[in-house]
Amino acid sequence: MAPSVPTVKLPAGTPLPVIGLGTWKSSPGQVGQAVKDAIDLGYRHFDCAFIYQNEDEIGAAFAEKIKEGVVKREDLFVTSKIWNTFHSNQKVHEAIDKTLAALRFEYLDLLLIHWPFGYKEGGDLFPKDANDKMAHTDVDYVETWKALEEVHKAGKAKNIGLSNFNVEQVQRVVENSTVAPACHQIEVHVYLQNKKLIDFSKSKGMVVVAYSPLGSNDRPKGPGFGDFPAPLEDAVVKKIAAKHKKQPGHVLLKFLLQQDLVVIPKSVSKERLKANLEVFDFTLDNEDLNELQKLDKHGEYRACTMGQDNSHIYYPFDRKYDSSS
């Protein structure tokens, strides 16, 4: 029997399972099977995005499982995100229609602005200028947010929110919204604990979703980034895992879940998908939590810097990240 995953409620009352399947960098030909395996294992929360370029395969997997009667559409909680080349009002509406067509849905459960900065619209998804730098636009993310409010009012997204915004940007959206952001999705793991941003987002009524909750081997290397082992290989994490007779991944996920965060680990392995749900039969004690809190490396272990965009007026992170990031 598939395990029952606990839920938290978004401000509008929509239940959100606290563990979902992330689909970033899940390869074509693999992601559809991963989604089907996940549904069979009990997953009901799926995190998607237009830029991942795999929503059509994911939509086919959803359609197959719905046709089989394994799930109904209303059993699923599906998130997608507006990519940087769709920040103007017209393009937001174009983007949501593309995503809904790919996923074969009439609505999303959650729609996010993927990043606060925009790219040149109407061409490549990563457009470059004459100097081979990112071709940016100065579309205000508040305009993008207003378009999301229109999408929400049209019934195409039951909830709307943000991703990768900083404290000041979150505040500005809140001050200029008629529909408050329901969720903030940000990178959070034991090496990047992001406490200030988490606490601020929660203070505004937002549920915080942690992406890359196990860390990432894809993080930038070089000056400004410490030479640390992956969190799964950290000696403290492994010691605590052995203490509880669990795997290091269980400890990393539980550390976030005990902070009332939602986690979306990515995997295409059925064994790993199953293992990621096996986190509800133990509790980290105060000693464990104190040791894990000391592992915070702050920005030195950020997996996703988008450093090529650090010249943009709306770049959300410390601008030390150079163009090679």
Active site residues: 52
Bridge partner list, 82: 113
Burial string for 221-236 (b: 16+ CB within 10 Å, else e) reads eeebbeeeeebbebeb
- Within a 10 A sphere around the Cβ of 9, how many other Cβ atoms? 11
Of 244, 246, 214, give the one whose Cα is nearest residue 231.
214
DSSP-based three-state secondary structure for 136: strand
Residue 114 assigned as binding residue: yes
Strands of 86-127 (E only): list them: 110-113, 118-119
Residue 21 to residue 61: CA distance in whole angstroms: 13
Q: DSSP letter at 322?
A: -
DSSP-based three-state secondary structure for 210: strand
In the chain, count of helices (H) and strands (E)? 10, 12
Residue 209 to residue 175: CA distance in whole angstroms: 22
Helix (H) or strand (E) holding 244: helix 235-244
Strands of the chain (E only): list them: 7-9, 15-17, 21-22, 45-47, 77-82, 110-113, 118-119, 136-137, 160-163, 183-187, 207-211, 262-263
Chain centroid offset of residue 100 CA: 18
The half-sphere exposure of 292 on its side-chain side, counting CA atoms within 13 A, is 26
| Residues of the binding site for substrate | 114
| Residues of the binding site | 114
